[in-house]
Every structure is written in C-alpha cells, then in structure tokens.
Chains A and B, each alone.
Chain A
Amino acid sequence: MPVSVTSSRLIYDALKGVGVRIISALPETWLVHLIRMAEDDPEMTLVRLAKEEEGVGISTGAHLAGVKSALLMQNHGFLASVNGIVSCAQLYRIPLLMLISARGEFGERDPWQTEGGMVTAHVLDALRIPHERLDAGDHVARRIAKAQTLANSASRPVALMLGRDLMWEDA
C-alpha cells in the first residue's frame, strides 16, 4: 500500500509527544497505519467510530475528564461533523485537536473526493478554526506541537490538514 508508513509514524509519535492518550478515528485509506499504530500501543485508547461527529463528543468528554485526545478523519468526515464542532466543541470551548486527511486535492484520482477537496479549507475558515498543513516530514512534529499549544491556550478546536505529499508515497 502506498500510504506512507514513515510519515504515519512521524505523526503518531508527535501525537504521543504532545500527550495524546485517546484517539477517535473513522478509517480511511490514508489513516490506516495511524489507526493501526494507535491500536498496537498499550498506552493509547483507540475508539473506532461509526460516524465522525461522535468523536467530537468523545474528545469533549476526555478533555473534561483531564485526558488529551485527537480526532482522525477524512475531510468528508469533518464536513459531516460540523454541528458537533460548532455546538459542542466551540460552544463549550474545547481544545479539540483534529487531524484531517485532505482528499480531493491535486493528484486525486477518485472522482468522489473532489468536491470535498474544494470546500474543506473554506469551511474551516468560515468556522474560524485555525488550520495548518502537514505536507513534509520535517515540520510534522513542530506543527503538531504548535497546534496543540494553540488549542490549549485558545481553548478552541484546531485542525491539521494531512496532505497527499506527506501521506501518499507515489504521489
């Protein structure tokens, strides 16, 4: 599978490094290694979701309980979670760390991913969710740490977009 194990490991180790101990995820191709790493790690709780919006509730509960979390999903899962993000995480000022695979951008071969690819960043902007991209291994750890710092200091959701150049090896 051409999903990058090396990049997935960098992301996973960075999440561990900022103290994340519970990850909610809905599987998608680009996330398979990350999800497996969480599953194989006895220090991590992995929650496999039926729908991404549940993860907003789980992360909110975890935060109130004092445990750092992350939510892994595709951009279409983010789009499906908007009310939860607005009416739970933003309304209650929850530092929600979202890692969103940016499907439907340059290089995308799946026609069904393309509409979501064109709107995701605009929706993040409309929601005033600070977001940055992860496109190369050398900035992964630093940007994840900075995203977590801002989520905590602002007490609001933040997003990191996982780009094709990082996640897919034969891009």
Chain B
Amino acid sequence: MKRVDALQAVYGELAVEGRVVVTIMGAVAAELQAIGHRANFFYLQHAMGLASSLGLGIALTRPELKVIVFDGDGSLLMNLGGLTTLARYRPRNLIHVVFDNESLLSVGGFPTATSTGSELAAMAKGAGIPRTGVVRTLEEFTTAFGEALEANDLTTLVAKVEAVGPAAFVTDLSLLENRYQFQRHLQNLKHGT
C-alpha cells in the first residue's frame, strides 16, 4: 500500500464537517496537500513526535470535534511516552493513524526500529490504547479507518506503507498561513458559522 493512495481513499471522510486533521511533517503533509488542502487540516512541519500530543490537546478541549492524527513511525518513536498519555485520558474523539514505512524517508530513507521488529501497534496496546490494529492493504485500511470513525473510541491504527513519497516536501502553503487558517476554522466551528 502506498500512503498517498491511503490518504486518497479516506479523503472524503476527512472533509466531513466537525472533523479536523493533524499531520506530521514530510511526505504525509506534502501528499495530503497535493490531494487537496482544506481549512481543517493542520500540518505540524517540525517538532517530530508532537502531532499526537497536539491532537490530544484539541480532542480534550473540543470534545464535539473528531480529531484525526496522521503520524509516522519515525515521529511516534520520538514520543512513545505520548501513547501512555493518550491512553490515560482516552479521548474518544481521537483517531491516531500511524503510517509505518519502516524508515525516515524524508532524510534519505534510513531504517527505523520498526524495520527490525519493533511493533508500534503492540506498543500502543501495551500503553493502554483501547483499539489498536495493523493493516497492510488499501482495502484493510479503508475498512479499519471507517470502523474507527464509527467506534467512537480512541484508536491507534498502524498502516504499513511503502517507503515512497513525493518528489518534493516543501509546498507553497506557508506554515503560519496554515496555522491561522486552521485556528480560524476551529473558531468558526465553535460559533456555528
């Protein structure tokens, strides 16, 4: 499975009002923007590891929203303790998708520890995340993502993907433009406008 195909397959679900998306930097951000940027998408273009924490901050303060975090193996490995914090507060409105390509693709493809047997879904389960799973095909991903949306409980879904990404990682969306647009979008949702 290619990550860009997985993103494309669930893109329609991401556009539903009341859902917000937080991604890590690199290929995920560039590919999602290439499919089509939306005001409810925020790309954390650095601070590796903190996308899931940022999603937790939104999920806890805005329980009426559904928060979808697109994480990666390299990023999650930098904030494994964050899994225990997610599990501890168990925001039922947060879906944590981890695209696991077993490498740090954007810096040259160096293998991460998931290439040598470390299992992120098992770590998430061990941390206490109530719903965890691993998917390897596009069909499995689409089904599991849909089930996670329906489940109304904290889910960490590890999607094994090929270590291929876009030709370029820098896009023409400025970081601060994205940040303020996203904040304004969340503000407008609150006031029902």
Residue numbers of A with Cβ under 8 A of B are 21-22, 45, 47-51, 53-67, 69, 83-84, 87-88, 91-93
Q: Which residues in A have their C-beta under 8 angstroms from that of B59?
A: 61
Query: Which residue in chain A gives the minimum CB-CB distance to B79?
Result: A54
Query: Which residue in chain A gives the minimum CB-CB distance to B59?
Result: A61
B23 interface hit (Cβ, 8 Å) = no
Looking at the complex, which one of A47, A61, A65 makes contact with B85 (CB distance below 8 Å)? A47
Closest beta carbon of chain A to B72's beta carbon, Å: 15
Looking at the complex, which one of B44, B49, B53, B61 makes contact with A22 (CB distance below 8 Å)? B61
Q: Which residues in B have their C-beta under 8 angstroms from that of A57?
A: 47, 49-54, 56-57, 82
Expressed in whole angstroms, the Cα–Cα distance for A170 and B176 within the complex equals: 47
Query: Which residue in chain B gives the minimum CB-CB distance to A88?
Result: B47
Closest beta carbon of chain B to A166's beta carbon, Å: 28
A60 touches B57 (CB 8 A): yes
Query: Do A62 and B61 contact each other (CB < 8 Å), given the known contacts A47-B89, A93-B179?
Result: yes
A56 touches B85 (CB 8 A): no
Q: Which residues in A have their C-beta under 8 angstroms from that of B50?
A: 53-54, 56-57, 60, 84, 88
Q: Which residues in B have their C-beta under 8 angstroms from that of A64?
A: 42, 54, 57-58, 179, 182-183, 186
